[in-house]
Structure 1
Amino acid sequence: MLIAPPFEIGPLDPAAQRAVRELAAAAEQHDGVAPLSEQFLLNLSVDDEWVTHVVAHDKLGATIGYAQIDRSGDVASAELVVRPERRRNGTGRLLLRIAERDATLPARSGEPGQHGKTLHVWAHGDLPEARGLAEKAGYRPARELLFLARPLDKDLPAPRPVPVGLRLRTFVPGHDDGAWLGLNARAFASHPEQGRLSPADLAARQAEPWFDPDGFFLVESADSGEPALRAFLWTKVEQPGPDGTRDGEIYVVGVAPESQSLGLGSLLTSVALAHLAEVGCTRAVLYVEGDNTPALATYEKAGFTRAGSHVQYTRA
C-alpha cells in the first residue's frame, strides 16, 4: 500500500529485505554502529499484525530509508535508518511521523491491543544526528543500553568453581529448548524484550549462522532426580574483522530468581571469557541495561569498560 510517494508500507519480499540489509550495512560502515538490532533484522521476513515495515524510495526506486514498528510488547518499539548520503532532507523525520501514527492510532474494534501504544524509538550508538532528530521531535531518553568490552589477550579472571550440588554443561538443541525458555522467562520476567522470547524466537536464533551449542552453557542441579536449570550463559562469536580482530559476545546471562545468591553470574562470566579466548576471539563484548547495578558491578570486576551506548527515546 502506497501512502505518499516515496514511502511504502507492507510486508517485505526477499528483494526488499536484501535492499534493507544493504542499506543497514552502508549506514553501519559510515556510522561505526549497526542501525538495526538483531531482533529487528530477524523481523524483516515477518508479515504479521504486530509489525509494520516502512520503506522510503527515491525517484529511481532505490531504497534510501527504512523504519520498523514492533507493537508486540507493552509499548511500541521502533528503529529507523536513512542512507548516509540522503540524510538531512526530511526522510528521517517523515519515517518517525509514520511510526508515531502507526503506534498511537486508537485500537480498532476487536483488535488485540496492537495499536494505541506509547512509541519508544531506539538510537543505536546515540549518534548526534539521531539525538538531534529526537530532541526536535520532542523526545527524551527513556532507557539506556550500555555496550561494554574488554580485551582477551591477558589478565583473564580465574575460572570460578561450580557450587556444590550443581553442574555445568552445554545446551542440547531439541532437548533443552522448553526448559531453557521457562528459565529465561523467569530470569527476565521484567525485561521488555528478553523475557518474551518464544519457541519461534529461539528457533530463529538457532537457525542463524553464528549459533553454536558449544558456546551455550547451562548450570543445573546435580541431583539424581530430574535436574532443574538454575542459570545459563549464551555466547555469540562474530566474523573476524579485516584487521584480524574478532569479537565474542556474552549474548545473554540469566539466573533463576531463587539462585541469585550463589554467585552464578560471576561464574558464568569467567566461563564466557575462557571460552571466547579459546575459540580465537580477541575482544569480549556485551550489552547491559544502564540501571542494572549488580550486573555492572560483576562486569566491572571482570575487566569490562564502557565502549558505547544505545538509547531508547520516547515523547516527553
Structure 2
Amino acid sequence: MQLTWRNGLDEGELAEVMALLEETEKADGVAPVGEHVILRLKAHRDVVHQIEPVQADVRSEHFVLRDSGGALIGYAHLDTEHEPDAGQLVAELAVHPDHRRQGAGTRLVEALLERAELGTDPDIDTGRLRTWSHGEHPGAVRLAERYGFHRPRELWRMGRPLTEPELPEAPPPEGVTLRTFRPGEDEADVVRVNHRAFVWHPEQGDMTEQDLRTKEQEDWFDPAGFFLAVDASGELLGFHWTKVHPDGTGEVYVVGVDPHAQGGGLGKSLTVAGLRHLRDTGRSHVILYVEADNVPAVKVYQRLGFAKLDSDVQFGR
C-alpha cells in the first residue's frame, strides 16, 4: 500500500474519491463523511495551486491510499480550519468495502496520528485529533479501541414517520408570524441568528453568509421549505431549515432560535411547521441529528414522536 498526503486533488483524484465514498455508502447504508466534506471536495483546491503562499489558506488535507496496482482503496479527509486557534484537527475516512480488514484503516489512522503529532499514551485525550465514525461502524470502533481513542462526542440520528402519530398543533407565540426564506435578502439575518443560537456548537455556529449561499446552489435547496419566524417589526427570531434527501427522506436540517426568543414555544412551532411542509409535499419519513448529551432537545424530539435510529461517534486523542 502507498499513502500520499495532498493539500489538493486533481480532477481525476477527485472523481476517484467521490466514487470510493459512494461505494462505501452503498455497502454500509450510511455516508462515510459528512456534508461539509462533500462541499469541500466540490470546491476543492486543485493540485496546480499547491504552492507555499496559499497553503495557510487551505482548510482541507487529503490522505490517499492506493494498493500495489495503483487503485484507490482508502481516503481520509482532514479538516484543519480550527488548527490555528484551537489546535484541533477533525478527520473522516473511508476504506473500500473490498479492501477491509487488510490494514488500510490502520494505515490511515496511523497517518492521522502522525500528522497530529500525538504520543502513544492512550489514557490522555489531548483534544488534538477528532475522528468521526458515521453510523458507529464496527471497524472504526475496533480501530478506536486499538489506538486508545476516547469518545468525547456522540450525535444521534433520530427519525419518525410523517403519517402517524399525528403532528400536534403548535401555533407561534403571539406577535410572531412564519414566512419562508427569501434568497438574496435573508442571508445576513439567518447567519446572525444562527451564530447566536449555536455559539456553543463546534460546526454549526461557524456558518457564514458564503456557506449559506453555497448551500443555496445545491440541488436539494428549496426556499419553500425554509421557515423564518419574525416579530411585528420584521426582526428574525428563529428559523427551521428543512432538507429532502435523494431517496425522498425529509430532514429537520437546522432549527435555530435566538436566545432572547427561547422558552416560549417558538422552537416547537418552527419544527412542526417544517414537519407539516415535508408531510404535505409527499415525504413519508423524516430524520434529524441531535447531540446525544443535549437532553432537553432529545426530550422535545421524543415528545414529537422521534426515536433514535443510530449514532455518529466522534473518537478523540
* TM-score for both structures, normalised by structure 2: 0.89
Residue correspondence of structure 1 range 151-230 to structure 2 within 5 A: 151-223=161-233, 227-230=234-237
Q: 1:279 aligns with which of 281, 287, 295?
A: 281
Show the counterpart of 2:52. none
Residue correspondence of structure 1 range 302-313 to structure 2 within 5 A: 302-313=304-315
- Structure 2 SS opposite 1:261: coil
- Structure 1 SS opposite 2:250: strand
**CA drift at 1:96:** 1.5
Show the counterpart of 1:95. 108
Contact 1:69 1:103 in 2 (8 A): no
Contact 2:127 2:316 in 1 (8 A): no
- Structure 2 SS opposite 1:281: coil
Structure 2 residue 70 is matched with structure 1 residue 61: yes
Task: Could you tell me which runs of 5 or more consecutive residues in structure 1 were left unpaired when the two chains were aligned.
Answer: 106-115, 241-245
Contact 2:3 2:63 in 1 (8 A): no
Show the counterpart of 1:78. 91
Cα distance between partner residues in 1 of 2:131 and 2:164: 38
**CA drift at 1:233:** 0.2
Q: 1:238 aligns with which of 234, 245, 270?
A: 245
Segment of structure 1 superposing worse, 196-205 or 132-141: 196-205
Query: 4+ residue stretches of structure 1 with deviation over 6 A?
Result: none
In the alignment, residue 201 of structure 1 is paired with which amino acid? D
Q: How much is the aligned-residue C-alpha RMSD, in angstroms?
A: 1.6
Segment of structure 1 superposing worse, 58-67 or 126-135: 58-67
Q: Deviations over 1:239-266 (max 9, x none)?
A: 23xxxxx310000100101111111111
Q: Deviations over 1:182-232 (max 9, x none)?
A: 110110001000000112211221111100111111001113xxx211110
Contact 1:104 1:117 in 2 (8 A): no
Closer, same or farther in 2 for the Cα pair 1:50/1:101, shift >3 Å?
farther
Q: Deviations over 1:102-140 (max 9, x none)?
A: 3348xxxxxxxxxx9700000111111110011101101
Q: 2:148 aligns with which of 138, 143, 161?
A: 138
**CA drift at 1:31:** 1.1
Contact 1:269 1:302 in 2 (8 A): no
**CA drift at 1:98:** 1.8
* TM-score for both structures, normalised by structure 1: 0.89
Contact 1:55 1:67 in 2 (8 A): yes
Cα distance between partner residues in 1 of 2:13 and 2:160: 37
In the alignment, residue 28 of structure 2 is paired with which amino acid? D
Q: 1:27 aligns with which of 20, 24, 35?
A: 24
**CA drift at 1:56:** 1.0
Task: Could you tell me which runs of 5 or more consecutive residues in structure 2 were left unpaired when the two chains were aligned.
Answer: 46-56, 119-125
Identity %: 41
Segment of structure 1 superposing worse, 190-199 or 84-93: 84-93
In the alignment, residue 258 of structure 1 is paired with which amino acid? H
Cα distance between partner residues in 1 of 2:181 and 2:12: 35
Show the counterpart of 1:50. 59
Cα distance between partner residues in 1 of 2:172 and 2:311: 32
Corresponding pairs, count = 294
Contact 2:172 2:265 in 1 (8 A): no
Q: 1:11 aligns with which of 8, 12, 37?
A: 8
In the alignment, residue 32 of structure 2 is paired with which amino acid? P
Contact 2:32 2:133 in 1 (8 A): yes
Segment of structure 1 superposing worse, 264-273 or 227-236: 264-273
In the alignment, residue 231 of structure 1 is paired with which amino acid? G
**CA drift at 1:89:** 1.7
Q: Deviations over 1:253-294 (max 9, x none)?
A: 001011111111111121121111111111010000001111
In the alignment, residue 313 of structure 2 is paired with which amino acid? V
Q: Deviations over 1:68-92 (max 9, x none)?
A: 1112123211001000111112111
